Amino acid sequence: QVQLVESGGGLVQAGGSLKLSCAASGNIFTINTMGWYRQAPGKQRELVATITSGSSTTYADSVKGRFTISRDNAKNTVYLQMNSLKPDDTAVYYCNLKMKFLREYDYWGQGTQVTVSS
């Protein structure tokens, strides 16, 4: 079974930066999409950014220009560089892996807390 291990969360002041990482292990298909989602207390989970194995990216409008997603295909690792953090960015951030072979497979990390103080 695939496992996703996240790291990099923590407490930062508004305007600061933080970098999250997520390493996937197991039987990872070559063609896949990895991404980050977040969920704040009392709110629905939302997509933050995704990146395909071909390096195509998508971003939520709220993070465009501030966050950058990247990946190392050889290591099956995805990163999220977060700059100019705002208190509204406070949430639990979840790593996600999607891949398809006859059916779609969807995997999630354990989540890492990001807290931005004002």
Tell me how far apart the alpha carbons of residues 14 and 16 are, in angstroms, rounded to a whole number.
5
pLDDT recorded at residue 75: 92
Whether residue 1 has pLDDT greater than 90: no
Whether residue 106 has pLDDT greater than 90: yes
Residues with Cβ < 8 Å from 56, sequence gap 6 or more?
Answer: none
Whether residue 12 has pLDDT greater than 90: yes
Task: Give the bridge partners for 57, in sequence order.
Answer: 51
Whether residue 20 has pLDDT greater than 90: yes
pLDDT per residue as tens digits for the range 80-98: 999 999 999 999 999 999 9
